[in-house]
Structure 1
Amino acid sequence: MTKYILILLLLISPFIGQAQTENQNFPNDNLMNTFIDSVVQKSALPFMSDSFRVGLSIGIYQNNKIFTYNYGSTQTGKQILPTNKTIYEIGSISKTFTGTLLAQAVKDKKVKIDDDIRLYLDNGYPNLEYQGIPIRLSHLVSHISGLPLFLPDNPNLFQNANFDTLPFTISKIQENYSQEKFMDDLHKVKLDTIPGFKFRYSNAGAQLLKFILEKVYKMPYDKLLKKYISNPLKMKNTNSLYSNNNLKLLAKGYNDKGNIMPYNPQILDAAGGIFSTVQDMLNYIRFHLDETNPVVALSHKAVKGNINDYAVGLNWQEMITSKKHKKIWQSGGTFGFSSYCVIYPELNIGIILLTNESDRTAQGRLEEVADKIFERINGKDPK
């Protein structure tokens, strides 16, 4: 069961400085000169002390100042310290990019957030409603559409599976899966609940939204990403195409056994296959901290739940913390990478963590690191 949950979570130079724990040494570039340096060191080392960790890059944005730190290696068995330009797969943080593009489409009057998705699909799809209630665009960015985890929908794939080889099996299925096959399989979906109510994690929903955005803009997803996000935000090493990556900067991804894992296939880009760097993600964080921007404001608007407890925006998770801070975040996990991004708009603070290792604890542990950093720097002059 634990391994089954893991799969759902994954898919839902030499030394510049040296840090030391009781038993291990880690290459890093933390100079340990400032208060924030010591905060990051104290927060990051417990995470890196797990024997199966590989590399970790951390970015902090606070009051128009940025701080970056790198630990470990881009590959196992080598001392190649990550840099601010090391490229990682960011997993489901990719979905926030897709949600941001949806907000842009609403601003451009290409769509309305609560449109029936069938307005943008050919060939009808009478199956995409339940008791007369249709799936709406807002449902695709909040995991309440009722669509399955994947298309093709094959839940038996997880039964009695070899979880060392399953990532490669899933990757192969998706590599050979076209948009045409996806749309054919969408006809076979049988909803079992009214859309908009029941949480069911769905990569298929993010994929479908990608196809809708491509249709209304008459532009492929990678071009949309460049036009509206990566180019204006100067995110030079952020893209959705593996072939566009600078392979010299691309980290290798691993599982907790140290095995190299496959990258997500192209068809999963909008759901979990975008590549980025800490440097680029800090630009993305700065953009999303500005809620006076109508695209940002809409992408943060809750479409399900209550922010005083827990809510979901356009692929962002949101809540008011016990200390009354508005917290907006998303984590990501692929077969070989884990990530966590959090922003506090009212405090003008954001944190990004990227690592080239994936296991059932990684995303939660990254959140713990980010929380510790935030708790220690909030209200302090970072200098």
Structure 2
Amino acid sequence: MKKYFILILLLYAIGGCTNEKVAYNGQKDYSQHITELQAKYIFAETKEFPNNTQLAVAILHNGTTNFYGIKRENDTISNIDNHDSVFEIGSISKVFTATLLADMVVNQQLGLDDNINDYLDWPLKDNVKITFKQLSNHCSGLPRLPTNLHLDSVDLKNPYKDYDEQKLKQYVTQDLQLNQNPGEKSEYSNLGVGLLGFMLSKIDSTTYENLLQSKICTKYKLVRTTTDRDQIRSQLIRGLDENGNETPNWDLNVLVGAGGILSSVADLSKFAQAQFNDSDKILSLTRKATFSLEPNKAEIGLGWAIQKNIGKTLIMHSGGTGGYRSNIVLNIANQNGVIILSNLSAFHKNHMNIDNLGNRILETLD
């Protein structure tokens, strides 16, 4: 059963309290940061999380950012200052990879509709034609995972760590099989965005980490955003498995662009506030719809999922790894947003509560 849940997470990459009043009152002085309704939502969505679970929350409203953190201990929750603490952000990394792509497009290093074979040292099997845009918006036809990443032989606590450039090359040149023709359908692919991140670093003759730092972190003053754990080890919150025990961090190796970034809500709030600046051509390009999932309701941009509902448009992304769960949801028009980072395992039965909480808090801002 556990292997089944690990498979689901890889494909989509990503003690309860019985006394509500005690747990709710554990959030002392919350009114300095959040409303009573928001505090109640936080309790409701986290009351069945394991002990030692932490949530770091950033709430963007009216041009300001408020931070709020909680930690669950002794079957209750209390507030904690963890806005500078670092968590794995999982697939929110795909938004950063999309931003790196948009940077290269705006600076005319490549075109969104260019054939990636024109930039690869080893072209895809059968000369399959896939564009950069299709990699980023999950319309490439590539499967969610390469078939030569074998779950029965990997370390399930760190499943990507041995998937290197040589294995990626073998897959795309020898084993490649598309689920559908490129451009026909959007089907979530960690492989596709991982390949995109790898290609962008090769095009710029550097590493993904160097691209991240030079093109994003320096520009937006993100001081604790990295793929290198050694850089933030003293700020890193340990991930928990589905039972609440500490679990190893994930190493994404050659697929780092799909989910290998670590960050804090302090950093992600700066990145989110920058999304409200329409003059930023690079970020604006990532938010532009590139594929319609459901007419007039759901679209996908470069990295971002775009949801339209009752006259408002939200952009969002979630992330999950063996020890962490994350969510970011923004209303660009109203300049509101919620970011949640946690060390709740994406294998936990209630991991979707993180997304639910983000949406519930956002509703209190509109």
Alignment of 1:253-332 (within 5 A): 253-267=239-253, 268-305=255-292, 308-322=296-310, 324-332=311-319
Q: Does 1:112 align with 2:111?
A: yes
Q: Does 1:44 align with 2:42?
A: yes
Q: How far is 1:289 from its partner?
A: 2.2
Which residue pairs with 1:212 in the alignment?
199
Which residue pairs with 2:332 in the alignment?
345
Q: Taking structure 1 as reference, are residues 21 and 227 closer, same or farther at Cα in structure 2, changes over 3 Å only?
A: farther
Superposed CA deviations along residues 223-264 of structure 1, whole A, max 9, x for unmatched, are 11111111121111110112222x221111112212322212
C-alpha distance in 1 between matches for 2:259 and 2:39: 29
Q: How far is 1:345 from its partner?
A: 0.7
Decide whether the 8 Å contact of 2:197 with 2:257 is kept in 1.
Answer: yes
C-alpha distance in 2 between matches for 1:199 and 1:365: 25
Q: Taking structure 1 as reference, are residues 30 and 205 closer, same or farther at Cα in structure 2, changes over 3 Å only?
A: farther
Q: Taking structure 1 as reference, are residues 308 and 361 closer, same or farther at Cα in structure 2, changes over 3 Å only?
A: farther
Q: How far is 1:372 from its partner?
A: 1.6
C-alpha distance in 2 between matches for 1:103 and 1:196: 19
Q: Taking structure 1 as reference, are residues 151 and 31 closer, same or farther at Cα in structure 2, changes over 3 Å only?
A: same
Decide whether the 8 Å contact of 1:30 with 1:70 is kept in 2.
Answer: no
Q: SS of the counterpart of 2:319?
A: strand
Q: Taking structure 1 as reference, are residues 202 and 52 closer, same or farther at Cα in structure 2, changes over 3 Å only?
A: same
C-alpha distance in 2 between matches for 1:349 and 1:78: 26
Q: How far is 1:361 from its partner?
A: 4.7
C-alpha distance in 2 between matches for 1:74 and 1:326: 37
Gaps of 5+ in 1: 13-18, 159-167, 379-383
Which residue pairs with 1:63 in the alignment?
62
C-alpha distance in 1 between matches for 2:79 and 2:177: 49
Which residue pairs with 2:168 in the alignment?
182
Q: SS of the counterpart of 1:222?
A: helix
Which residue pairs with 1:15 in the alignment?
none
C-alpha distance in 2 between matches for 1:254 and 1:330: 21
Q: SS of the counterpart of 2:20?
A: coil
Q: Taking structure 1 as reference, are residues 328 and 362 closer, same or farther at Cα in structure 2, changes over 3 Å only?
A: farther
Q: Does 1:364 align with 2:352?
A: yes
C-alpha distance in 2 between matches for 1:77 and 1:33: 18
Q: How far is 1:63 from its partner?
A: 1.9
Q: Taking structure 1 as reference, are residues 203 and 214 closer, same or farther at Cα in structure 2, changes over 3 Å only?
A: same
C-alpha distance in 1 between matches for 2:25 and 2:321: 24
Which residue pairs with 2:220 in the alignment?
233
Q: SS of the counterpart of 1:115?
A: coil
Decide whether the 8 Å contact of 1:302 with 1:312 is kept in 2.
Answer: yes
Decide whether the 8 Å contact of 2:124 with 2:176 is kept in 1.
Answer: no
Q: SS of the counterpart of 1:39?
A: helix
Which residue pairs with 1:165 in the alignment?
none
C-alpha distance in 2 between matches for 1:297 and 1:240: 24
Normalised to the residue count of structure 2, the TM-score between the two structures is: 0.88
Q: How far is 1:34 from its partner?
A: 5.4
C-alpha distance in 2 between matches for 1:251 and 1:30: 22
Q: SS of the counterpart of 1:98?
A: helix
Q: How far is 1:327 from its partner?
A: 0.4
Alignment of 1:60-139 (within 5 A): 60-72=59-71, 81=80, 83-127=82-126, 129=128, 134-139=129-134
Q: Does 1:142 align with 2:129?
A: no
- Aligned AA for 1:175? K
Q: Taking structure 1 as reference, are residues 40 and 181 closer, same or farther at Cα in structure 2, changes over 3 Å only?
A: same
C-alpha distance in 2 between matches for 1:72 and 1:334: 19
Instruction: Compute the RMSD of aligned alpha carbons.
Output: 3.0
Aligned residues: percent identity?
A: 27
Superposed CA deviations along residues 312-371 of structure 1, whole A, max 9, x for unmatched, are 11111002112x111000000001100000111100111101110123554521222122
Compare 343-352 and 256-265 and name the one that shifted more. 256-265
Q: How far is 1:37 from its partner?
A: 3.0
Q: How far is 1:76 from its partner?
A: 11
Q: How far is 1:77 from its partner?
A: 12
Decide whether the 8 Å contact of 1:72 with 1:82 is kept in 2.
Answer: no
C-alpha distance in 1 between matches for 2:351 and 2:130: 29
Decide whether the 8 Å contact of 1:171 with 1:265 is kept in 2.
Answer: no
Q: SS of the counterpart of 1:106?
A: helix
Normalised to the residue count of structure 1, the TM-score between the two structures is: 0.84
C-alpha distance in 1 between matches for 2:279 and 2:4: 41
- Aligned AA for 1:376? T
Decide whether the 8 Å contact of 1:137 with 1:209 is kept in 2.
Answer: yes
C-alpha distance in 1 between matches for 2:349 and 2:271: 25
Q: Does 1:354 align with 2:341?
A: yes
Task: Count residues with an aligned counterpart.
Answer: 357
